[in-house]
């Protein structure tokens, strides 16, 4: 059986452009998943939950709060993009979060991330903005946009 954190880290390494400094390191993932409130989902290249002997094509990390679930990270390996896997991960998250009692999903992203098209088509709408919240590795400041999606 392949270790799930290895599978997450493999997708992490291929999916995030280092220019933005958004990828988490293994320690950050392990720390997050040491809390019962944090969850992950691994999707195969066929859009199904991964089998024990399969590598992952994408993943999500999320955190349960009171009647809410925050999407912390969503990534699909570039080789498998625009095949509907990102959407299928959001579908799985919605179902799982709903089962955990969430009435809405939350997320935060940097302004200009093309993932916004996916989020908007899924039903996310903007609820907030933090001016110059993120700093890239080369020092640029970027606004953070906060979104919610009602699922309850
Ligand atoms: C965002 C991401 C997860 C999308 O994964 P994906 O599997 O390609 O998404 P899907 O195939 O399900 O996309 C569904 C729809 O969303 C929209 N969409 C997805 N990616 C898009 C992009 N880069 N530009 C514009 N629209 C996009 C399209 O409408 C797409 O439908 P279409 O392909 O029929 O036009 C992937 O691009 C990724 O891992 N990006 C890097 C990590 C990241 O920025 N994550 C989000 C912040 S944590």
The rounded Å distance from CA 82 to ligand 1 centre is 6
Q: Read off the pLDDT of residues 87-143 as tens digits, 9 standing for 90 and up.
A: 999 999 999 999 999 999 999 999 999 999 999 999 999 999 999 999 999 999 999
Question: Would residue 119 show up in a list of annotated catalytic residues for this protein?
Answer: yes
**The domain that contains 143 carries what CATH number?**
3.40.630.30
79 band by pLDDT with thresholds 50, 70 and 90: very high
Question: Residue 131 is part of which domain span?
Answer: 4-150
Is residue 70 among the annotated active site residues?
Answer: no
Cα–Cα–Cα angle for 127, 133, 138, rounded to 5 degrees: 140
CA of 115 to the centre of ligand 1 (A): 5
Q: What is the count of structural domains for the chain?
A: 1
Structure tokens given for 138: 């080369």
pTM value?
0.97
Whether 1 shows a pLDDT value over 60: the answer reads no
Nearest atom in ligand 1 to the alpha carbon of residue 20 is: 44
The active-site residue out of 22, 54, 108, 134 is: 108
């Amino acid at each position: 059986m392949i270790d799930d954190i290895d599978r997450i880290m493999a997708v992490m390494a291929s999916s995030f452009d280092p220019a933005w400094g958004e990828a988490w390191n293994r320690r950050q993932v392990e720390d997050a998943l040491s809390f019962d409130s944090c969850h992950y989902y691994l999707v195969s290249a066929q859009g199904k939950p991964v089998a024990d002997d399969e590598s992952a094509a994408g993943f999500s990390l999320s955190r349960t709060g009171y009647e809410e679930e925050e999407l912390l990270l969503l990534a699909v390996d570039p080789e498998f993009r625009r095949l509907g896997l990102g959407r299928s991960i959001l579908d799985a998250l919605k179902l799982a979060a709903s089962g955990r009692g969430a009435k809405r999903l939350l997320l935060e992203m940097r302004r200009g991330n093309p993932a916004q098209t996916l989020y908007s088509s899924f039903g996310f709408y903007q609820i907030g903005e933090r001016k110059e919240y993120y700093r890239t590795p080369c020092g640029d400041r970027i606004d953070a946009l906060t979104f919610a999606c009602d699922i309850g």
